Amino acid sequence: MWSLISSNLEHQQERVEIAKIFIRHGLKIKEGKIYCGEIEIPASKIAAVADVDRRTVVSTIRMIEDDKRLEEIFANLEPGGSNLTKVAKNLGWTVIEITPDDANRPGILAGVANAVASRGLNIRQAIVDDPQLVPDPKLILVVDGKPPSELLYEVRSVRGVNSVSFY
């Protein structure tokens, strides 16, 4: 997907950044407008976040809608839901943050999830950053309760895991 997007917008870095904002936040492009779910977002708000002129956002939308493959991708984006990491502590949950040694290595999420499940912990949420969109991608799990300290070492031993933090 990203190669298709960047090949169409590669000569205009500002437009690439705007496309990343759309994807990162699951913002849909439909009939020249920006939506978060069913809520319309003004182009000026995206422009402020991207530190560009509103017209740059509008022209990026036009470029996306002029390409049938891009239009199909951006017309079907949806927000990923609530990020529970900042409220986990209030709910008695724990956040496990994993930094991979190579975010493109398959099996990291499976290995970590198996380690967590083997301790009888329920995973409330898993967030996996896309290494093409996020410079320092992470795997973040929100789990029920407080995991035993041994889990820290088990997760750290999963192939592809560089570092682990619990909070």
pLDDT tens digits, one per residue of 63-74: 999 999 999 999
Q: Which residues contact 102 (CB under 8 A, 6 or more apart)?
A: 160
pLDDT above 90 (res 78): yes
- What number is the average pLDDT over the span 14-18? 93
Q: Are residues 105 and 143 in the same domain?
A: yes
- What number is the average pLDDT over the span 37-41? 97
Is residue 153 one of the residues assigned to a domain?
Answer: yes
Predicted confidence at residue 4, as pLDDT, reads 79
Q: Are residues 61 and 121 in the same domain?
A: no
Q: Which domain holds residue 20?
A: 2-75
Backbone phi, then psi, for 33, in 5-degree steps? -120, 160
Q: Indicate whether this model's pTM tops 0.85.
A: no
Q: Mean pLDDT over all residues of the chain?
A: 94
Predicted confidence at residue 145, as pLDDT, reads 95
Distance CA 26, CA 148 (A): 35
Q: Are residues 44 and 105 in the same domain?
A: no
Is residue 81 one of the residues assigned to a domain?
Answer: no
- What number is the average pLDDT over the span 126-154? 94
Whether 55 and 41 have beta carbons less than 8 Å apart is answered as: no
- What number is the average pLDDT over the span 81-103? 96
Predicted confidence at residue 66, as pLDDT, reads 94
Q: Are residues 112 and 158 in the same domain?
A: yes
Backbone phi, then psi, for 155, in 5-degree steps? -65, -40
Domain of 133, CATH number, reads 3.30.70.260
Helix (H) or strand (E) holding 2: helix 2-9
Backbone phi, then psi, for 106, in 5-degree steps? -75, 150
